[in-house]
Structure 1
Amino acid sequence: MEFDDQMRRFFGTDDLANVSAEGMASGIERMQVEFGLETDKGRRFAMWSLLYMLGSAPDLDVAFKDPLDRDAARTFMDLLDQANSAEDSRL
């Protein structure tokens, strides 16, 4: 699942700046429901990643039963934190 596809599917746009607060809340809720029903590991990880970036992801132990998936999610979190730190230091 492509990032832009997720944005359009859940928020109706690929630019979150154009999403109202109500639209954001509704999109996140739909994504959380679909995440809970999704069985494909790749799609689950993609949805969790976007939910994480939006501050609405479930805890790792709830989201991923497989320890390798939890490790991959931790790596994603670390990489995102590093990217954000590097961006903040340039400002």
Structure 2
Amino acid sequence: MDLDLLLQTYFGTPEPETLDDAEIKAGIERVTMALAIEGDPGRRFALWVLLYALDEAPPAAKVFKDPEQLRAAEEYERTASRLEDDD
């Protein structure tokens, strides 16, 4: 999924820095709802990553029941954490 498209779809703009706190909260709620009902594994992962980037992701173990998908999410968390530590 394209990040700009995700931002446009759930936040109404591809430029989240232009949003106020209420608009961001509403967008996060929309992404969270979409994650809860999305059936496609790739789209679920993209939605979860977006929430992770916003520091709003639920634990990977609650989202991904498939062991392969869970491993991918956990690896994403480890990699993102290492990148944050390097900054």
Task: Establish whether TM, by shorter chain, passes 0.5.
Answer: yes
Tell me which residue corresponds to 1:40. Answer: 40
Percent identity over paired residues: 33
Following TM superposition, the consecutive aligned residue runs of length 4 or more in structure 1 with deviations greater than 6 angstroms are none
Q: Which residue is 2:58 aligned to?
A: 58
Report deviation, 1:45.
Answer: 0.1
Residue 73 in structure 1 maps to residue 60 in structure 2: no
- Separation in 2 of the partners of 1:19 and 1:76? 27
Helix, strand or coil: the match of 2:44? helix
Q: Computing the radius of gyration over CA atoms, which structure comes out larger, 1 or 2?
A: 1
Query: Structure 2: 5+ residue runs without aligned partners?
Result: none
Question: What is the deviation of 1:82?
Answer: 1.7
| Structure showing greater relative contact order (alpha-carbon pairs closer than 8 Å, 6 or more residues apart) | 1
Paired residues, number: 87
CA distance in 2, matches of 1:79, 1:60: 14
Aligned partners of 2:39, 2:29: CA distance in 1, in Å?
18
Paired residue secondary structure (1:46): helix
Task: Give distance in 1, aligned partners of 2:85 and 2:4.
Answer: 24
The answer for the alignment partner of 1:16 in structure 2 is 16
Q: TM-score, normalised by structure 2?
A: 0.92
1:80 offset after TM fit, Å?
1.2
**Superposed CA RMSD:** 1.0
Instruction: Spell out, residue by residue over 1:29-62, the C-alpha distance to the aligned partner (whole angstroms, 9 max, x if none).
Output: 0111111110000000000001011111111121
Deviating more after overlay: 33-42 vs 14-23: 14-23
